[in-house]
């Protein structure tokens, strides 16, 4: 039977040959799902034939550029695990900037998450604001099914999920509106990695054209759903700060950058 070190060496070489950016990290994450304990102290330990076969299947899927999160069935975001499938975007570290900005403001009582996808944003905010309730919307029924699973785990009993094209089926006023809309330009789609292009929903990635159509739609109506003193937070592409902000004029707009110094979130206050 092979030991862990042998399995990892072979897997890393396969992933490197497949063009994976972090072959060692991905191999370790995938093997860890089959082995109890820390791999660091187990390199000479042998594994069963069953584990070796399961790991081989995982590596084959990764070689085909299936995202690690889809193989594992979850993605970590803000210290919590969220179910992900090909029906939703993977929650990304960039989006944690939106959470950081939200936590800087007043504590909301009602939160609206437009285009919720996996529900990671709303679930995280409800976990951080335990007195709040939330509404999650998405145009995709399949995405809402994923969001419901995550919200049930992280914020049981304090949310509702509504199938809606942006605000179309939304009612009421909210202290905080959050949204990570599709914003990738049509031209930039061609440069995305296979993990994204082939395994994540295009409708959640790009509106086509200049990538700003979602902001145009949101800017027209968001203020009708904000309570007095409410705030709206929108994730943006790193090069869209000025162009997206102009769409919300004459509202007060603040730009926040992610850990890499790139424009990432607009805070809008009418």
Binding residues for S-adenosyl-L-methionine: 115-119, 138, 166, 180
Strands 80-83 and 110-114: unpaired
**Annotated binding residues:** 115-119, 138, 166, 180-183
Q: Kindly state the tokens that stand for 268.
A: 């809008």
Q: Kindly state the tokens that stand for 139.
A: 């145009």
Q: Measured at the alpha carbon of residue 257, what is the angle toward residues 188 and 165, in degrees to the nearest 5?
A: 60
**Annotated binding residues for substrate:** 180-183
- What DSSP letter does each residue of 64-113 carry, written as one string? TT--HHHHHTEEEETTEEEE--TTSPPP-GGGHHHHHHHHHSPPPSEEEE
154 backbone dihedrals φ, ψ, rounded to 5°: -100, -15
Q: What is the DSSP letter of 46?
A: B
β-sheet with 226-235: strand ranges across? 159-163, 133-138, 110-114, 174-179, 226-235, 263-269, 252-257
Strands 252-257 and 263-269: antiparallel
In terms of Cα–Cα distance, which of 123, 128, 100, 116 is closest to 201? 116
78 backbone dihedrals φ, ψ, rounded to 5°: 50, 40
């Amino acid at each position: 039977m092979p030991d862990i070190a042998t399995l990892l060496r072979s897997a890393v070489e396969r992933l490197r040959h497949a063009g994976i950016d972090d072959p060692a990290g991905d191999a370790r994450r995938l093997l860890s799902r089959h082995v109890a304990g820390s791999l660091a102290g187990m390199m000479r330990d042998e594994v069963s034939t069953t584990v070796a076969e399961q790991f081989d299947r995982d590596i084959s899927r990764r070689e085909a550029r299936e995202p690690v999160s889809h193989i594992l069935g979850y993605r970590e975001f803000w210290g919590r695990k969220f179910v992900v499938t090909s029906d939703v975007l993977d929650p990304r570290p960039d989006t944690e900037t939106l959470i950081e900005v939200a936590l800087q403001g007043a504590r909301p009582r009602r939160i609206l998450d437009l285009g919720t996808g996996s529900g990671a944003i709303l679930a995280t905010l409800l976990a951080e604001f335990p007195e709040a309730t939330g509404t999650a919307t998405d145009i995709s029924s399949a995405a809402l099914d994923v969001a419901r699973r995550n919200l049930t785990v992280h914020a049981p009993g304090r949310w509702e999920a509504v199938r809606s094209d942006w605000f179309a089926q939304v009612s009421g006023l909210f202290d905080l509106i959050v949204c990570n809309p599709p914003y990738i330009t049509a031209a930039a789609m061609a440069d995305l990695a296979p993990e994204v292009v082939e395994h994540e929903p295009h409708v959640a990635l790009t509106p086509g054209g200049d990538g700003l159509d979602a902001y145009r739609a949101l800017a027209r109506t968001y203020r009708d759903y904000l309570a007095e003193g409410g705030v709206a937070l929108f994730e943006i592409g790193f090069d869209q700060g000025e162009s997206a902000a102009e769409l919300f004029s004459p509202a007060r707009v603040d730009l926040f950058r992610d850990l890499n110094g790139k424009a990432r979130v607009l805070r809008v206050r009418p």
